[in-house]
Amino acid sequence: MTAGPARPNRVGVPALSISCDMLVFGGTGDLALHKLLPALYHLHRDGRLHADMRILALARSPHSRAAYQALAERRCRAQVARADFDEASWHGFAARLDYFAMDAGQSADFGRLAKHLGDAAERVRVYYLATAPDLFEDIAAHLQIAGLAGPKARIVLEKPIGHSLASAQAINAAIGAVFDESRVFRIDHYLGKETVQNLMALRFANALFEPVWRAGHIDHVQISVCETLGVENRGGYYDQAGAMRDMVQNHLLQLLCLVAMEAPVRFDAEAVRNEKVKILEALKPLSGLDVQDKTVRGQYTAGKIGGQEVPAYYFEKHVDNDSDSETFVAIQVEIDNWRWAGVPFYLRTGKRMARKASEILIQFKPVPHRLFGDGEANRLLIRLQPEERISLQLMAKNPGKGMRLKPVELDLNLAHAFSTQRRWDAYERLLLDVIEGDSTLFMRRDEVEAAWEWIDPIIQGWHQHYQSPRPYPAGSNGPEQSQNLLERHGRRWAD
């Protein structure tokens, strides 16, 4: 498998000097075809991949190399913007791309894989497990038996890492028996988003916010990840996981950590992750009656999204008709430390919501004395999607007589501010970090386990107190009870 030279670099940085094999288990799945291959194509097109890098997709389907390349091209054309798809670049990328049919559960197939790869001990090998988590342990063990887990090998694990603390610990122990922690990359694609990283820049590179980024000045924080989509073709997985395991345990808790963490002593993997773990360990436990008071589960019923009728969750493909899985979660969270004592964090995620939006709202407290009568308190809104932007709401005088105030926004649209540069997809950045061995934006073992340790009692409380999901119509803002979570304290969601 020989790759042609990459195109001249278009982003003003040198191409990688690392000779690397990228092996993608689950190579015919949606993640590989919709996210990973388009991201790798963009990196190739921009000259970020070593000329000798090889990409090998692995799955059970009996595709030939040519057939898989044709499949990959169709999917990439559908995912990549028309202006970004270049025929010459694709041919160069396809020269890197190979396919190997195998069963990840069969140890003998790993022996065949070792022969296919050949002896290249000097090369970095990255094993990306875009598979169900129940295959993680077997794949790691089979790689070791086949002699494919040498000191330069790295493994990438997609979420969720298990479905509970015990299962996460079992997976981590099995992976750790083969790969030391420095070579394990637990990926959360939210951490690769430009705006998420800008959150750290906003906090730690600007003197403006740090003095007021604390309980004395902030009333509350909202973190929302809302989707208009349903479960699509993930019904079988989602019905076992639910929104808590699928979204809260990883995406939302990671965002909370970045909002609440202290400044690391330096910007490297261990220092950043040390501070995130401290936040997870400071989360006030929720159990018993607290689960009923401070959490809301929901499940969408039939409704309209964009004028189109959509079915209820329990009529989705591969979902049980009597399913008790939640498609919506809202939680009131408290952090027991000096910076955040008494400040509620409201987390919310849901499918089939009224709008697609991932955003973080920092609601400041009002001024101590309202000199000009009524006015709104300042707030900082950090939008992750659909657009990436940061806006700060301030009070200003309305033109004309008197001192009538009006909220105005200082608005940073990242797409406009950096319009001369192509916006990287999160997977592009994270895949490049894996190849370079930079684990700053990946979760460490103790992070994953600390998150599960906090999540498990909530799920157990739901079952112990028979807290079934509250129905909400598709196209709404979730169950009414989620509004009450804030309104009883005089607050409201920023919808």
The pLDDT, as a whole number, for residue 1 is 47
Instruction: Consult the annotation and say whether 134 binds a ligand.
Output: no
Which of the four pLDDT bands, split at 50, 70 and 90, describes residue 17?
Answer: low
Position 399 scores a pLDDT of 80
- Of 9-18, 24-33, 127-136, which range is least confident? 9-18
Burial annotation 55-93 (CB, 10 A radius, 16+ → b, else e)? bbbbbeeebeeeebbebbbebbeebbeeeebeeebbebb
Q: According to the model, what pLDDT value does residue 367 have?
A: 83
12 has pLDDT over 50 = no
365 is in an annotated binding site: no
Query: What is the DSSP annotation of 196-241?
Result: HHHHHHHHHS-TTTGGGSSTTTEEEEEEEEE-S---TT-HHHHHHH
Which residue in 251, 318, 416, 465 is the catalytic one? 251
Asked if pLDDT for residue 446 goes beyond 50, the answer is yes
Radius of gyration of the chain from its Cα atoms, rounded to whole angstroms: 24
pLDDT in tens, 55-78: 999 999 999 999 999 999 999 888
pTM for the model stands at 0.90
The reply to whether 152 sits in an annotated binding site is no
Torsion of CA 122, 57, 234, 429, to 10 degrees: 50
Position 43 scores a pLDDT of 93
pLDDT over 70 (residue 83):
no
Cβ neighbours of residue 97 closer than 8 Å, sequence gap 6 or more: 37, 55, 56, 57, 65, 68, 69, 72
Percentage above 70 pLDDT, the chain: 94
Confidence label for 388 from pLDDT (cuts 50, 70 and 90): confident
294 is in an annotated binding site: no
Rounded mean pLDDT, 374-400:
83
Report d(CA 426, CA 91) in Å as an integer.
24
Mean pLDDT of the chain: 89
Residue 307 CB partners (closer than 8 Å, separation 6+): none
Which one has a higher pLDDT value, 345 or 417?
A: 345
Which pLDDT does position 167 carry in this prediction?
94
Q: pLDDT of 270-280, one tens digit each? A: 999 999 999 99
Q: Is 159 annotated as a binding residue?
A: yes
Specify the higher pLDDT residue, 471 or 425: 471
Residue 422 has pLDDT above 90, yes or no: no
What's the token pair of residue 358?
């991932």
Q: Is 374 within any annotated ligand binding site?
A: no
Confidence at residue 376, expressed as pLDDT on a 0 to 100 scale: 80
Is 251 marked active-site?
A: yes
pLDDT above 90 coverage of the chain, percent: 64
Q: Which residues of 203-233 are buried (b: 16+ CB within 10 A; e: fewer)?
A: beeeeeeeeebeeeebbbbbbbbbbbebbee
**CB neighbours of residue 405 within 10 Å:** 18
Whether residue 248 has pLDDT greater than 80: yes
> What pLDDT, on a 0 to 100 scale, did the predictor assign at position 421?
62
Cα–Cα distance, 25 to 429 (Å, whole number)? 20
